[in-house]
A and B are shown apart, each in its own frame.
Chain A
Amino acid sequence: MAKRQYAFYPGCSSQKGASAANFATSIQLMNDKLDIQLNEIPDWNCCGASIGYGEGSELQRLVLNARNLALAETNLPGQDLVSGCPACWLATREAAERLHNTDHLMADTNEALKEAGLNFKGTVKARHMVEVLVEDIGFEGLKAPVVKPLQEMKIAGYVGCQTNRPFGIAGESFENPMYLDKMIESVGAEAVAYDQKVTCCGGALAFSEPDKSQKQIKDIVEAAYDGGAELIVTPCQLCQANVEIYQSEINKKKGTKLNMPVVYYSQLMTVAYGGSAKEAGLNGQLIKAEKLEKIASK
């Protein structure tokens, strides 16, 4: 079968040696098994993320994102732009929609893009990796390559914010989206019910307002424990980093004993599809996902 082709926008955190390097590792085997081919957009740049607005103006942020869209349109014609990072996806999709809806913004953006020798016609659709899995492959398709069902694993699907709002996955509720639970179930694990599925981890404010963000993180991890989970799974790079990294800080400050591994959906799928712990990027966890490693080594 011919592979499905996408223009891939990895984003800064998924580069080698960056905070989500293990995500980048884990999608390789998953995509091979699902006949997905990601073609990296040449020389892509940062999207401005959710904090760029403080210093970067509306047009400056639009232009940053339009450059990636234009690079995809020019170099990988006909392919949807796909990002694994919710912030990249949100910024790119937001930019594409604003440019479409406002004539002068498209003209202004193209005037600025000329400085980089580019022009954006507006034909590229910006999508999230999860949309590709849910919409193009489908839950049955996600099940097909499973060789090691993750039976007896109880997992809290933590959707967080930006994969879910303001765009979300078509047809899903903002308050209680079900796709991540269905993805967990498609690899044979149990998705537990808990009440912090779409709670904000603090996002970029984990850096600037650590106490306020760590309160959010504590609530999320404790709710996952209360729901009976032994692992948190997320589609978001910043959620993964915040919710995993700061557990030790919270323990120090609050005397708690939080020690919940936090992995990406792609790491689950890679293990279920027969990949090794290394192929699943599990060596990138600060809190080791021991049970998942054990299944991978079987």
Chain B
Amino acid sequence: MSNANSQAVARYQNNFLKEVEERVEDGHWVKMCMQCGVCAGSCPLGNAWEHSPQKIFMMIRAGKREEVLTSDSMWMCTSCYNCIVRCPRQLPITHIMHGLAHYSNRLGMVPKGQPTQEIAKIFWNNLVKTGRVNELKFSLSMYFKDGFVQGIKNALAMQSIGLGLVKAGRLNPMELFGGHKCKDSGAIQKMIAKAREIEDRRHAAS
């Protein structure tokens, strides 16, 4: 169990709803869910979720901490926002799913190898480095995330598309050597680090 996880367990004991309300982005909305199921029926990847948002909300209230935080359901969210605009109680469901995914990641509870978590990490690290996303490096890091041999296989499988994009002027091989970036990328990194520091300070105080 990660340090952050054992601290959270000790602090909230068996009150998982309270933990979600205090620690998860927009988590204070969870108790407003009336279990109508519109979110479950509105999700484009609905059948890929082991637990729909509706179920996740009930599981939170039932204190099923381990099941919720180790679920890969939240990582199926495509950020289409269908559930948000359709929820009769106007719960910001997309944000709550993002918040749960983030929280689970922070506690080190995401199932190993969860692909969306992996690309989210690659994407974030990519953008924080220079302030802007380097699409070429992002694609290559994704292909090679499971090792060199698999990376070559993945890259070859996507070769015709990649070359097509290069030909169309929509993928620049030179991006491998530097590429687009913010002039003030150092300050951006400091700002991002500061934001984390402020959040930790607030959590310690709450």
Contacts and interface: CB of A to CB of B under 8 A. Distances in A.
Interface of A: 12-13, 15-22, 43-46, 48-60, 62-64, 67, 104, 108-109, 111-117, 161-162, 165-166, 168, 174, 199-200, 202-205, 207-209, 212-213, 216, 245, 248-249, 283-286
Contacts, number: 214
Nearest to A245: B161
A213 B85 CA distance: 21
20 contacts: A12-B132, A13-B135, A19-B170, A22-B168, A43-B183, A53-B102, A56-B128, A58-B102, A60-B199, A63-B192, A67-B188, A111-B198, A112-B192, A112-B195, A115-B191, A117-B187, A162-B80, A209-B76, A216-B44, A285-B168
A286 B172 contact: no
Closest 6 interchain pairs by CB? A54-B120, A17-B172, A55-B124, A165-B81, A50-B79, A200-B80
A230 to B, nearest CB: 20
Contacts of B118: 208
A61 to B, nearest CB: 9
B8 interface: no
Given A117-B187, A283-B169, A56 B84 contact: no
A104 B121 CA distance: 27
Contact of B78 (A22, A111, A203, A248): A203
Interface of B: 25, 44-45, 48, 75-76, 78-82, 84-86, 92, 94, 98-99, 101-102, 105-106, 115-121, 123-125, 127-128, 131-133, 135, 142, 160-161, 164-165, 168-172, 174-175, 180, 182-184, 187-188, 190-196, 198-199, 202
Given A116-B184, A168-B85, 17 more contacts: A12-B135, A13-B135, A17-B172, A19-B135, A45-B132, A49-B127, A54-B101, A56-B102, A63-B195, A67-B188, A108-B195, A108-B202, A116-B187, A204-B116, A205-B45, A209-B76, A212-B48
B81 A162 contact: yes
A53 B165 contact: no
Contact of B79 (A59, A161, A216): A161
A207 B48 CA distance: 16
B164 A286 contact: yes
Contacts of A109: 195
